[in-house]
């Protein structure tokens, strides 16, 4: 996302990692930019703040929380090594814990671009359920109407896709959406929006949606692969 | 040990209270000791549907707040001595009871009954959460309408998130003729979307209206199709394998039900 603030998704939800040493007011400015730019991704998100070694007092932390809240983001938890930051979080009423041991890969590990980290899920995503991930999402199961998948990367639904999908929600227009049965309420890729006319109950073929000439096009998998 | 089963739906008006009253009565007719609890505090109905409204002295909130003992608040059914109702309070609202109090209450009922059926309020807020917090199992009632099914789907997710297992399903008010003409969602359409176990199909039946107004469960009426469907659901709850009722003029669909769902009864 940026060099000072990174967003990562995992099975337990999103984590927002702040650089340990950068100037705090500058970080907030950058965060504001990121939240504004990627509103589609962040609005409604819940995430864990990761502060690393940085220490924050209560005033700084509530400033941060207010900024997030203003953009529809709720911080559920905070992980930090500095006791002061954890105490500030508890005083405000959010869960605080030390940094997880696996937080950063040991130096020298080849780094993977966060967006290519994929999340694999085997379940039904039902009405009212939202899955948000900074990388790709593969869902083995149905996405029901009223359910939402929001991904920084591409989205694959090995099942019926009847809900809402936003791929490339962090701005990647190369992202695609694949489904065995594509009858979504709405599809979005990057900043493009497509609503689909209701289709009959005829036989469905696997389809792929992608951006072509600034609009979302859908074609069958058979055509797409050629 | 008692089974505590909550009957819920998300959407209002799909037949939760009717289902609770009829299943409770049907289970008691078959010899089980049954308590039905109205968890719809502030909008109580179950007592009316069961014709016990005029016998209420104490209610659920009185028990929770210590004004009455549970035994005092339980109302015996008119016909079945094994069937008891714990009515909701009408003058209070959903906040009058905490989840901990609901768990305590259901656990007290467990010791004296074989089945405890909880009639949940509509919605997904505190009242619904209170209704499922003490339950072992959840039954979702839906009608074959897109809006009701959408809400049911939401409820399935919430029930699973509350770690109450996957709920089972009753599809209420099916009109075979409309389904045949393709104007109503079929049971298969509903099942395909919700992907949960089907416990019963209840056909639309005008006898329900009269039985509800009279305060007598439809399961007493030999001629009521809905009543027979509820009796069958009660038998399935008891672990019997009961085929689904033949819905008029659609034997083809029925045969497919046997194939798909008949064997999954446990």
Q: Phi then psi for B100, rounded to 5 degrees?
A: -60, -40
**In the predicted structure, residue A117 carries a pLDDT above the cut 90:** no
Using a pLDDT cut of 70, give the percent of chain A over it: 88
At A176-213, the pLDDT tens digits run: 999 999 999 999 999 999 987 766 666 789 999 999 99
Nearest chain A alpha carbon to B195:
A124
* Chain A residues within 8 A of B154 when measuring between CB atoms: 126-128, 146
The pLDDT, as a whole number, for residue B259 is 46
At A134-162, the pLDDT tens digits run: 999 999 999 999 999 999 999 999 999 99
- Domain boundaries, given as residue ranges, for chain B: 3-264
Residue B129 distance to chain A (closest CA, Å): 16
Distances (CA, A) of A109 to A104, A106, A151, B106, B151: 10, 6, 25, 54, 47
CA torsion sign for A188, A193, A197, A203 is negative
A177 torsion bin: left (phi>0), alpha (psi -120 to 50), beta (else) = beta
pLDDT band at B13 (very low <50, low <70, confident <90, very high): very high
**In the predicted structure, residue B249 carries a pLDDT above the cut 90:** no
ipTM, 2 decimals?
0.79
The span from the CA of B38 to the CA of B56, in Å, is 12
3-state SS assignment for residue B264: helix
Query: For residues A24 and A57, is the Cβ–Cβ distance under 8 A?
Result: no
Query: Looking at the domain that runs over A5-97, which CATH code has it been given?
Result: 3.30.70.260
- Domain boundaries, given as residue ranges, for chain A: 5-97, 114-224
Contact A128 B154 (CB under 8 A): yes
As a whole number, mean pLDDT of residues A47-68 equals 91
**In the predicted structure, residue B214 carries a pLDDT above the cut 60:** yes
Contact B157 A142 (CB under 8 A): no
The span from the CA of A76 to the CA of A99, in Å, is 15
Beginning with the edge strand found earlier in the chain, give each strand of the sheet holding B115-119 in spatial order: B75-76, B83-86, B34-38, B115-119, B3-8, B137-142, B168-174, B198-203
The pLDDT, as a whole number, for residue A4 is 86
At B160-212, the pLDDT tens digits run: 999 999 999 999 999 999 998 888 999 999 999 999 999 999 999 999 999 99
CATH classification for the domain delimited by A114-224, as one of 2.102.10.10, 2.130.10.10, 2.160.20.70, 3.30.1950.10: 2.160.20.70
Residue B187 distance to chain A (closest CA, Å): 15
The most distant pair of C-alpha atoms in chain B lies apart, rounded to whole Å, by 56
This prediction's pTM: 0.82
The span from the CA of B142 to the CA of B160, in Å, is 17
**In the predicted structure, residue B262 carries a pLDDT above the cut 60:** no
Q: Which residues of B touch A (CB under 8 A)?
A: 124, 150-151, 153-154, 156-158, 193, 195
As a whole number, mean pLDDT of residues B3-9 equals 98
Structural class in CATH, domain B3-264: alpha beta
């Amino acid at each position: 996302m940026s060099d000072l603030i990174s967003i990562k998704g995992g099975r337990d939800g999103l984590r927002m990692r702040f650089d340990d040493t950068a100037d705090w007011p500058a970080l907030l400015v950058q965060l504001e930019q990121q939240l504004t730019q990627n509103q589609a991704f962040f609005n409604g998100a819940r995430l864990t703040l990761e502060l690393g070694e940085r220490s924050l007092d209560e005033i700084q932390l509530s400033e941060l929380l207010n900024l997030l809240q203003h953009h529809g983001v709720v911080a559920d938890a905070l992980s930090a090594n500095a006791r002061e930051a954890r105490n500030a979080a508890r005083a405000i009423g959010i869960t605080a814990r030390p940094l997880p041991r696996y937080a950063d890969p040991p130096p020298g590990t080849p780094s993977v671009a966060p967006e290519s980290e994929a999340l694999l899920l085997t379940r039904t995503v039902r009405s009212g359920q939202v899955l948000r991930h900074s990388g790709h999402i593969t869902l083995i199961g149905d996405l029901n109407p009223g359910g939402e998948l929001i991904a920084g990367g591409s989205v694959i639904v090995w099942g019926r896709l009847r809900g809402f999908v936003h791929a490339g929600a962090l701005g990647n227009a190369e992202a695609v959406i694949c489904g065995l049965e594509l009858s979504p309420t709405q599809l979005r890729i990057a900043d493009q929006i497509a609503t689909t006319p209701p289709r009959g109950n005829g036989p469905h073929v696997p389809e792929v949606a992608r951006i072509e000439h600034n609009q979302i096009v859908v074609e069958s998998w058979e055509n797409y692969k050629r | 040990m008692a089974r505590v089963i909550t009957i819920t739906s998300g959407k209002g008006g799909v037949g939760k209270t009717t289902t609770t009253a009829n299943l409770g009565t049907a289970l008691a007719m078959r010899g089980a000791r049954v308590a039905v609890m109205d968890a719809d505090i502030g909008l109580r109905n179950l007592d009316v549907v069961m014709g016990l409204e005029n016998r209420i002295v104490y209610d659920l909130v009185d028990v929770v707040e210590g004004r009455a003992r549970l035994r005092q608040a339980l109302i015996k059914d008119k016909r079945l001595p094994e069937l008891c109702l714990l009515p909701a309070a009408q003058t209070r609202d959903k906040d009058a009871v905490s989840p901990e109090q609901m768990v305590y209450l259901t656990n007290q009922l467990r010791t004296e009954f074989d089945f405890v059926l909880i009639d949940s309020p509509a919605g997904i807020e505190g009242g619904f959460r209170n209704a499922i917090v003490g339950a072992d199992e959840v039954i979702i009632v839906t009608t074959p309408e897109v809006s009701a099914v959408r809400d049911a789907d939401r409820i399935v997710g919430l029930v699973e998130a509350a770690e109450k297992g996957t709920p089972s399903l009753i599809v209420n008010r099916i009109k075979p003729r409309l389904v045949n003409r393709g104007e109503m969602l079929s049971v298969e359409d509903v099942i395909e979307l919700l992907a949960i176990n089907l416990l019963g199909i209840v056909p639309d039946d005008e006898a329900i209206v009269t039985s509800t107004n009279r305060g007598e469960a439809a399961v007493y009426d030999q001629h009521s199709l809905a009543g027979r469907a509820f009796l069958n659901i009660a038998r399935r709850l008891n672990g019997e394998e009961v085929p689904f009722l033949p819905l008029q003029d659609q034997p083809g669909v029925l045969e497919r039900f046997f194939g798909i769902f008949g064997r999954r009864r446990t």
